[in-house]
Structure 1
């Protein structure tokens, strides 16, 4: 069941997930040929072991739901031995689950089954590490526009909810509270996606303040998050908006969002100024060895730890301590870790493209390990046998 208990898993089944009639078009040809050979020479009961080559967090629900739907359509029963429940940590090479059924019915499903398992498990792992590193920060899943189609978007949103739930259980993290689209909002216990304004609205309005006024007039009863980096005046525009909406600012229903591109520094900062900001607020973060990537996250261009700290300083000095800071742009697991070490005063992180980070590691693998109950697997994969 999804986190909200809505029972909506598979709500797009038949839309973005290939059904039985489409399996042949999307599976590897050698699996189709195997199916024909088995049908000709005699069926056997096969047991598949599905595993990953790296540590992951188990996120098998979409894959299992899809397999059960195909089994029902094909009129056969499948036995699923799930070794790691959803949200459990899985070591590299450890079978997540075993699937047993007629080889003639399972052979051509392997490709599609793995598509739905591997990426979700890696993204759940990434979501967990992000949330665990920044346990007091609320995350918003903004993955949809970075995904290769609606099916991947569903996998990523589901995975974010699984990794987030694990972080809540393990370290008391706030985790992912919502995402950006209605179609997958149910994974986060929401009825619709969340978000306020893109850069395009700022450009349309002609100024950051005018965009905020337009939003407020259109959605007067909703919290407002204002993008403040369009004109490179992050601090100036943040304060202008706060002064225009003092009631929102005082009530905590106003947030400012940093999405500074990596091609420039936030208003008022440069390398020297960035070091000075961290020296004032979190001096231990810049002590000791840092590699180039970590230094960029701390004091470099874009949304750095120094940028967030400087914006917080400016808001507090101007008398707006209740205004929240939202940050996006490049928030990978590695960046979240550095931000945590710098104690950045973030309220919300928007992230998406880094849920399936290291795409080359998202591949799940399957091997048949039993034929009619007799253990048999290719040499070197004996570790997959059931214990």
Structure 2
């Protein structure tokens, strides 16, 4: 099995010109001023304002590469190891070194830290909500370029491993080759998009084409293209009974939110849950949770309806893959409804409120003297609060 975090995790360009172009101008000017009036040895505290899971590796790789390129020594004290929970405002790490060498790095190092920590926290929570379900990372199409794609895949792997330590199955892989190494895989998982079914003309024919081309691979078939999830799902199972019996066939539910899964309406959705998880419908707390239970799209009722149909047709080993909007909240609802999901495909660990991802860095020590702006005294190291601001205040 490949080592997690292979060549694809190499840091970005570390030249002074690249850093200067991407950093905030006042940091560049600070660097020039300090270089003129005399360097200082400073310590930065780096933190987020919300609880997260520590995911600092990409930032640390970049910072160490910059230090090597500049021929300077940077001391890094990681306060919360990768995959560990961090409270709001609790410093993730302290960075100590030359003020001239560090002053222009703040913008970029914060970019590489905050979003990864929040995404790791989201992935961790999702996996814990559905501990018996395997997850597949499908974030790439929602990322703003290759750097974000790498960051989000890394974050999902960190959150997943944290959940796995608590007994969850977690993320078993992802959907593309470039970032598969974060999940201990050499390549991404995936079988067919909706486009292949449109090309084939029928769901069964698309499955046949895939199996003829990749006969040794397990088969996961999208079944919502024609709005006949149940009919087409059973038809594919009947076409491939050997795969179905061996547990190598899965149907993927990706019904969009504009309609119900085949055979469902509001009344039948309630009836399905009454048969399988009556408590869930009585405990919902919001309109969003109710929609996840009995609404349109991939609801808990839809998953149960698909499971009923497959079992009644004699295919109990055909697995169900569910996708479409599986964030922390939806995973929690599916757990309450005991929805029989085998795999969740999701990119919804990507932070929803981007302003929650903003990491912050403050200098807390200048040449050995604790000093921080008023209101940030909580960032000082233990025992330094009494000496803060150079002995004043």
Question: Shared fold (TM-score greater than 0.5)?
Answer: yes
Q: Is the 8 A contact 1:139 1:178 kept in 2?
A: yes
Deviation at 1:19, TM superposition (A): 2.1
Q: Is the 8 A contact 2:321 2:344 kept in 1?
A: yes
Which of 340, 349, 353 pairs up with 1:354? 349
- SS of the residue corresponding to residue 116 of structure 2 reads helix
- SS of the residue corresponding to residue 265 of structure 1 reads coil
- What corresponds to 2:235 in structure 1? 240
Verify: 1:13 aligned to 2:10, yes or no.
yes
Query: Cα distance 1:338–1:288, how it changes in 2: closer, same or farther (>3 A)?
Result: closer
- What corresponds to 2:45 in structure 1? 49
RMSD value, Cα? 1.2
Q: Is the 8 A contact 1:126 1:357 kept in 2?
A: no
Deviation at 1:354, TM superposition (A): 3.5
* TM score, norm. by length of structure 2: 0.95
Deviation at 1:353, TM superposition (A): 3.6
Query: Cα distance 1:318–1:189, how it changes in 2: closer, same or farther (>3 A)?
Result: same
Query: Cα distance 1:6–1:94, how it changes in 2: closer, same or farther (>3 A)?
Result: closer
- What corresponds to 2:111 in structure 1? 115
Q: Is the 8 A contact 1:135 1:173 kept in 2?
A: yes
d(CA) in 2 for partners of 1:5, 1:247:
34
Q: Is the 8 A contact 2:136 2:174 kept in 1?
A: yes
Which of 41, 51, 70 pairs up with 2:66? 70
* TM score, norm. by length of structure 1: 0.97
Which of 292, 295, 301 pairs up with 2:287? 292
More moved, 199-208 vs 233-242: 199-208
Residues 329-364 of structure 1: CA deviation (Å, up to 9, x unaligned):
000111001101110000000000433232221111
Query: Unaligned stretches of 5+ in structure 1?
Result: none
- SS of the residue corresponding to residue 261 of structure 1 reads coil
Which of 139, 142, 150 pairs up with 2:138? 142
Verify: 1:254 aligned to 2:242, yes or no.
no
- What corresponds to 2:31 in structure 1? 35
**Matched residues, number:** 381
- What corresponds to 2:221 in structure 1? 226
Runs of 4+ off more than 4 Å: none
- What corresponds to 1:276 in structure 2? 271
d(CA) in 2 for partners of 1:157, 1:252:
28
Residues 100-141 of structure 1: CA deviation (Å, up to 9, x unaligned):
010111111101100110001000000000000000000000
Q: Is the 8 A contact 2:5 2:182 kept in 1?
A: no
Q: Is the 8 A contact 1:53 1:364 kept in 2?
A: yes
Residues 308-331 of structure 1: CA deviation (Å, up to 9, x unaligned):
000000000000000000000000
- SS of the residue corresponding to residue 108 of structure 1 reads coil
d(CA) in 1 for partners of 2:292, 2:200:
31
Q: Is the 8 A contact 1:123 1:357 kept in 2?
A: no
Which of 71, 79, 91 pairs up with 1:95? 91
- What corresponds to 1:320 in structure 2? 315
Query: Unaligned stretches of 5+ in structure 2?
Result: 383-393
